[in-house]
Amino acid sequence: MTSLATSIGGRTFGNCMMNAAGIRCQNKKDLDALVASSAGAYVTKSATPQKRAGNPSPRMHTLNKGSINSMGLPNNGLDYYLDYVIDDQHKRPKATNFLSVAGTSLADNLAMLHQIQESEFNGFVELNLSCPNVPGKPQVGYDFDRVNDVLDQVFQFYTKPLGVKLPPYFDLVHFDQIAAILNQYPLTFVNTINSIGNALVVDPRSEQVVIRPKGGFGGIGGASVKPTALANVRGLALRLKPAIAIVGTGGILNGVDVFEHILCGASMVQIGTQFGYEGTKLFDRLSQELKDIMNQKGYTNIEQFRGKLKTFD
């Protein structure tokens, strides 16, 4: 019997696939659909302390097998998502799910994590350090001192399972530097990558950008980011202490993409852009495709090949 089960931080998940924060996870209807799907878990839209409208439209544009977005963290506010995950926890006490938070300041992140620490939520928090789309706000994940400071302050009081959502890095030295910081903290997981920030898509017919915010600059998702995503999954898997699991995100359209992320070291994968297009039936399709690949290769569970990417030497 081929199993797609996985475990992170001592919690088990029946399926190693879930949504990526931001995609079809904005409200109760979206989240209920994920609960009813074959996804192994869900993550909520990144929350700010209060409800937030986000950037002006058009703020997302479909590309050939990809997307560019500058949503700007539109969300219903932390209380909404905290209420949802706690209510769900009462209904399904054995399930573990993810609550994403993305404060636009350190104070906001600390305030939200204090509120979550004091709550009865016992799932995973995904601290989003990599939203590229809040005008005037840098991606914290690219400022290593700030990452260190945030985690130092968070772990003064936060004792529940916590992971961070990172931006893509493009230099092995940066993998070394961020891993040296992350390894100092009792993180449960690291999610890599967020969209490739501040890309620019041009429509040559109209001679115009395709999204309104920030003069057209936005985060890229979808097939074109897979090589970068796999590099970040592998680069961090090779450098992080084994206690920190890797959640692989980026460029997953098919079962083979899931297989590649796991081969590079991911214990869970998240799907964003393609999930946006296909809806929850995506998880049925990807699960079957991954099982087919595993059966062809003689694998019965993902631990048999997770992280076992070969090199030439």
Q: Tell me the two tokens of residue 97.
A: 């799910």
Nearer to ligand OXC by Cβ, of 220 and 294: the residue is 220
66-69 vs 60-63, strand pairing mode: antiparallel
Q: Is 131 a catalytic residue?
A: yes
Residue 127 phi, psi (nearest 5): -85, 110
Question: Between 225 and 268, whose beta carbon lies closer to ligand OXC?
Answer: 225
Ranges of H-type helices in 48-199: 78-91, 106-118, 144-154, 172-182
Does 249 bind ligand OXC (CB under 6 A)? Our answer is no
22 lines the binding site for ligand OXC (CB under 6 A): yes
> Binding string to ligand OXC for residues 88 to 127, with x set by CB under 6 A, is what?
----------------------------------------
100/270 Cα distance (integer angstroms): 13
If one asks whether residue 71 binds ligand OXC (CB under 6 A), the answer comes out as yes
In the chain, what are the helix, strand and coil shares in percent, each to the nearest 5? 35, 20, 40
| Least distance between ligand OXC and beta carbon 67 (Å) | 9
- Binding to ligand OXC (CB under 6 A) within 130-189 occurs at 130-131, 133
Task: Map residue 289 onto helix, strand or coil.
Answer: helix
Residues 6+ apart with CB under 8 A from 74: 26, 45, 52, 53, 54, 55
Q: Which two three-digit tokens encode residue 47?
A: 């929350």
C-beta closer to ligand OXC: residue 109 or 133: 133
* The only residue of 23, 41, 73, 246 in contact with ligand OXC, by rule CB under 6 A: 73
Given 38, 100, 130, 195, the catalytic residue: 130
Residues 27-46 that bind ligand OXC (CB under 6 A): 46
Instruction: Name the residue nearer to ligand OXC (CB basis): 37 or 70.
Output: 70
The bridge status of strand 268-271 relative to strand 17-19 is: parallel
131, 224, 267, 287: which is the annotated catalytic residue?
131
DSSP state of 113: H
Q: Is 219 in the site for ligand OXC (CB under 6 A)?
A: yes
User: Mind telling me the catalytic residues?
Assistant: 130-131
Binding site for ligand OXC (CB under 6 A): 22, 46, 69-73, 128, 130-131, 133, 194-195, 219
